[in-house]
Amino acid sequence: MACHGPQGNSQIPTTPSLAGQPRLFLENQLVLIREGLRNIPEMKGLLDGVKDAEIVAMAQYFAEQKPAARTGTVNDATWKRGEALAAKMLCASCHLPDYSGRQQIPRLAGQHEPFLLLSMKQFRDQPGLGRDTIMAASLYGLKDTELADLAHYLAHFR
């Protein structure tokens, strides 16, 4: 919780909030990190030796926490461009219309804008081991400005 915040609500703009993420998504990510299939330098070694039952318990805990409401200024023009792009790309068909995620698909609504932008750029520019190939393909060819619009929209989703 030092990085992901109290009850899983991150205070660090480039660190995801875990509160309210789907349990199965969290379980899968924790296993991928533990097994070295997802390289997150900040997490290196933290899950070494953690048993599956403990991973299930951690995932359940964070899934049950309430996501904190995001604060900050909404730029209406950016938000509307992001909304239109999300609709065009059918983001809600997987992440659900409220962007809360489901099963193995993460919650996007209310995540930190810098985290969302960084994650989307990684999917687009550095697909690799432990990364979602569907997201890499979905974001392929998008400009940085479009990713920024999407990140703003999702971070401030209402």
On whether 91 is known to bind a ligand per the annotation, the reply is yes
Pick the closest to residue 132 from 25, 36, 23 (CA basis): 25
On whether 58 is known to bind a ligand per the annotation, the reply is no
On whether 152 is known to bind a ligand per the annotation, the reply is no
On whether 135 is known to bind a ligand per the annotation, the reply is yes
Sort residue 99 into left (φ over 0), alpha (ψ -120 to 50) or beta.
left
* Paired residues of 105 in beta bridges: 102
- Give the C-alpha distances (Å, rounded to integers) separating 52 from 4, 46, 55: 20, 14, 5
On whether 94 is known to bind a ligand per the annotation, the reply is yes
On whether 89 is known to bind a ligand per the annotation, the reply is no
Tokens at 53, concatenated: 């039952």
Known binding residues for heme c = 3-4, 43, 91, 94-95, 135
Known binding residues = 3-4, 43, 91, 94-95, 135
